[in-house]
């Protein structure tokens, strides 16, 4: 049944449009206006230039089997599935394989396998002398091991976890072709590739349609605190039809505002012995100004800073689905509540300005000068 939304001056059925959220750029949004409505079901988008449709928010499993136990993982997966989410992202190195194993156990009885789009990654290795192994032999063996842990005969999207300069790219990409041709993977993608690496890989795959598996997606960190992908990765992805799946879309949790004023919530990543260094780069003065702007916008819209930050990155050009790594179902529910929120253009422009990265030669578009 469609959601009915009352707005001043009339009656509307469906999600609340951005223009109903107010008229000021950041401050002064009338708080008596209706708050964004939470849709009953998540919208879906095509993954890059393919026929695969995924929910426009993905569920990450980086901490599964380590900080997230089986009970919290079950709550997370059930909450995500019930909200209409289907894209679940994992990797063979998450929890040393425990994340995949745990996801496989939950698919066995909690959520039907057919309702999920499972994405996993291979190529990262626990070898201090070689952090990445993109050889065909390693990748295909890693995929078989992932399938065994997941308890399934295929993954929906298989990503190369990183670029391996020690292996010819053609050999690495051939592993993707074999995986798709054999049915062990339905679609292929990459992660951690810079602009030229992505452009080269995507173009190589497109050069022989029918015999090579086109790249459907790429995973890179992207948020209001980290917009480096806009220089070369996003243009390459848009040009070659590769969908972007942003990781850390909330700036490693900083954009939620929970670290403002040097706060250290006891259950946060900043308070964690092995995750504090992960958060630290985004606690400088520049990040603080951006977080302040996000919080101000959220106050004016009568929503949360989390919703503003997530809606901004979700609706950037080229983005298919930000991948959210919630610690518990409560955090995930807060993230999923962004579904009906579309930021007003004025807010987007203000956030774009305050978070704009510095572009220097040759990144800057000199033709505009």
Report CA 48 to chain centroid distance, whole Å. 14
Q: How far apart are CA 183 and CA 103, in angstroms?
A: 20
User: Does 94 qualify as catalytic in the annotation?
Assistant: yes
Q: What are phi and psi of 118, to 5 degrees?
A: -90, 125
- Strands 10-13 and 243-247, by their bridges, are unpaired
Query: Quick check: 117 and 52 in contact, CB under 8 A?
Result: yes
Q: How far apart are CA 305 and CA 355, in angstroms?
A: 15
Between the alpha carbon of residue 138 and those of residues 82, 172, 175, 192, the distances in Å are 36, 10, 9, 18
First to last CA, the chain: 52
Q: What are phi and psi of 306, to 5 degrees?
A: -55, -45
Gyration radius of the chain over CA positions: 21
Q: What are phi and psi of 98, to 5 degrees?
A: -65, -30
Helix, strand and coil in the chain, % to nearest 5: 40, 15, 40
Q: How far apart are CA 126 and CA 129, in angstroms?
A: 9
Length reported for the chain: 369
Residue of 76, 53, 34 whose CA lies nearest to 328: 76
Q: Which of 94, 101, 187, 222 is catalytic?
A: 94
For residue 89 the two structure tokens come to 């992202």
Residue of 232, 225, 193, 217 whose CA lies nearest to 310: 225
User: Looking at the annotation, which residues are catalytic?
Assistant: 94
């Amino acid at each position: 049944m469609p959601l009915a939304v009352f707005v001043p001056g009339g009656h509307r059925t469906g999600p609340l449009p951005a223009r109903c959220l107010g008229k000021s750029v950041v401050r002064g949004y009338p708080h008596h206006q209706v708050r964004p409505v939470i849709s009953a079901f998540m919208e879906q988008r095509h993954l890059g230039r393919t026929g695969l449709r995924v929910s426009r928010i993905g569920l990450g499993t980086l901490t599964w089997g380590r900080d997230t136990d089986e009970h919290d993982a079950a709550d997370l997966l059930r909450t995500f599935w019930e909200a209409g989410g289907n894209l679940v992202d994992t990797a063979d190195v998450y929890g040393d394989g425990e994340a995949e194993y745990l996801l496989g156990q939950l698919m066995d009885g909690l959520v039907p396998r057919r309702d999920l789009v499972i994405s996993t990654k291979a190529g990262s290795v626990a070898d201090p002398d070689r952090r990445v192994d993109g050889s065909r032999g390693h990748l295909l063996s890693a995929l078989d091991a992932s399938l065994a842990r997941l308890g399934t005969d295929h993954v929906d999207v298989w990503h190369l976890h990183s670029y391996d300069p020690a292996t010819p790219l053609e050999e690495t990409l051939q592993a993707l072709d074999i995986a798709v041709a054999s049915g062990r993977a339905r679609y292929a993608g990459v992660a951690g590739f810079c602009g030229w690496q992505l452009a080269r890989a995507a173009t190589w795959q497109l050069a022989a349609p029918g015999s090579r598996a086109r790249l459907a997606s790429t995973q890179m960190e992207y948020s209001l605190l980290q917009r480096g992908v806009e220089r070369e990765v996003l243009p390459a992805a848009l040009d070659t039809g590769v969908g972007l799946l942003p990781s850390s879309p909330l700036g490693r949790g900083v954009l939620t505002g929970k670290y403002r004023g040097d706060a250290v919530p006891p259950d946060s990543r900043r308070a964690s012995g092995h995750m504090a260094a992960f958060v630290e780069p985004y606690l400088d003065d520049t990040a603080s100004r951006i977080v302040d702007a996000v919080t101000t916008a959220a106050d004016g819209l009568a929503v949360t800073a989390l919703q503003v930050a997530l809606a901004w990155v979700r609706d950037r050009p080229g983005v298919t689905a930000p991948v959210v790594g919630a610690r518990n179902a409560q955090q995930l529910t807060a993230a999923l509540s962004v579904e009906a929120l579309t930021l007003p253009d004025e807010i987007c422009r203000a956030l774009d300005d305050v978070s704009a990265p510095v572009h220097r030669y040759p990144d800057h578009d000199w033709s505009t000068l």
